[in-house]
Amino acid sequence: MRPISAIRRSTIAAAALAALALTGCSGTQEAARQAGDQVGQAAKDAAATTGEAAKTAATATGQAALGQAVTPVLDLLNKTEGEVKAGNMASAIAAMGGFQALWNTASPVIRPIAGDKWPLINTAANLVLSTFAKGATPTPANAGSALTGLIGPLSALLTK
């Protein structure tokens, strides 16, 4: 075996060092890529969580506003329904005198939250308004029907 010259030895050593350096660099690049992927995923997860939290807050706020709008309407409708069932049509008609103003205040809050239920709710409210309109003489049957026709869908919104 011939002895390896000093130049060849230096060349082999330099190649070995370069290979080691490249391998280490490649590992470092892979580690950096994985860390970047993990940071990116963490950012995506944080954004999704924040989005869900905002959606939940908006829904809770909408439900709170809906409750504040619907509760007085339901209270009046239920009170009037009680009067109708008791046969006190004069009291029922008198109680419903304030329904139009109450509905005008509540309906803008109800409409966007009701979604595809809005046409049903609006039709039922219009039936209540016409049944108890000034000068109307509702019977207990049509008054009760109009009231329950609006009580049902409004109550369902609150349990949504």
HEC string of the chain equals CCCCCHHHHHHHHHHHHHHHHHHHHHHHHHHHHHHHHHHHHHHHHHHHHHHHHHHHHHHHHHHHHHHHHHHHHHHHHHHHHHHHHCCCHHHHHHHHHHHHHHHHHHHHHHHHHHHHHHHHHHHHHHHHHHHCCCCCCCCHHHHHHHHHHHHHHHHHHHCC
pLDDT at 159: 85
The pLDDT-based confidence of 57 (bands split at 50, 70, 90) is: very low
Lowest-confidence segment of 43-52, 77-86, 115-124 by average pLDDT = 43-52
Give the predicted TM-score (pTM) of the model: 0.62
